[in-house]
């Protein structure tokens, strides 16, 4: 089932679960495969039906030759390794905001995507103790 495939891939700590019944494949994302690309609506299984919830227990089978691809809750480990910029960086960028505007969260996302620490002149011990730097 879809749920068991996603759970299996989550247990293997892989971010994508690919289902083509009766097979389940677990894999990493790739530059060759755009996870944001969607099929045109005519190819989507049961596209004319109202939205189904996860508890409905059934999804329409994919067309022959097509795969169903699901994101697992696993973060791609390539986003976890962080480093400092070289000492002689050609350009620096500043991010400023009002308190409570989400600056810390934005910096966290920037660090995940780029792999570079962002740093801050602001210190909040509670956030620091939870892993935000």
85-93 average pLDDT score:
73
Asked if the model's pLDDT at residue 69 lies above 90, the reply is no
- 70 & 94 share domain: no
- 17 & 61 share domain: yes
Determine the Cα–Cα distance for residues 80 and 114; give it in Å rounded to an integer.
Answer: 10
pLDDT in tens, 12-36: 988 889 988 889 999 887 766 655 6
The count of C-alpha atoms lying within 13 angstroms of the C-alpha of 84, restricted to the half-sphere facing its C-beta, is 5
- 89 & 34 share domain: no
- 86 & 64 share domain: no
pTM above the 0.75 mark?
Answer: no
Determine the Cα–Cα distance for residues 128 and 130; give it in Å rounded to an integer.
Answer: 5
Location of structure tokens 């989400």: 102
Number of domains present in the structure of the chain: 2
Which string of DSSP letters, residue by residue, matches 76-115? PGGGT--BPPPTT-S--------TTSSHHHHHHHHHHHH-
95-105 average pLDDT score:
78
Supply the range of the domain harboring residue 42.
Answer: 2-76
Q: Tokens representing 43? A: 């190819």
**Domain end point (choices 59, 76, 93):** 76
Asked if the model's pLDDT at residue 117 lies above 50, the reply is yes
- 63 & 93 share domain: no
Q: Average pLDDT over the chain, rounded to whole?
A: 72
Per-position b or e across 115-124, b if 16+ CB within 10 A of its CB: eeebeeeeee
């Amino acid at each position: 089932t879809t749920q068991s495939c996603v759970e299996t891939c989550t247990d293997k700590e892989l971010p994508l679960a690919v289902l083509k019944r009766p097979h389940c494949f677990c894999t990493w994302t790739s530059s060759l495969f755009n996870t944001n690309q969607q099929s045109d609506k005519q190819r989507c299984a049961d596209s004319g039906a109202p939205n189904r919830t996860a508890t409905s227990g059934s999804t329409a089978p994919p067309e022959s030759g097509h795969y169903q691809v699901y994101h697992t809750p696993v973060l791609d480990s390539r986003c976890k390794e962080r480093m400092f910029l070289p000492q002689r960086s050609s350009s620096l960028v500043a991010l400023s905001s009002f308190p409570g505007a989400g600056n810390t969260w934005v910096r966290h996302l920037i660090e995940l995507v780029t792999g570079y620490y962002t740093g801050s002149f602001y210190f909040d011990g509670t956030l620091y103790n939870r892993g935000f730097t």
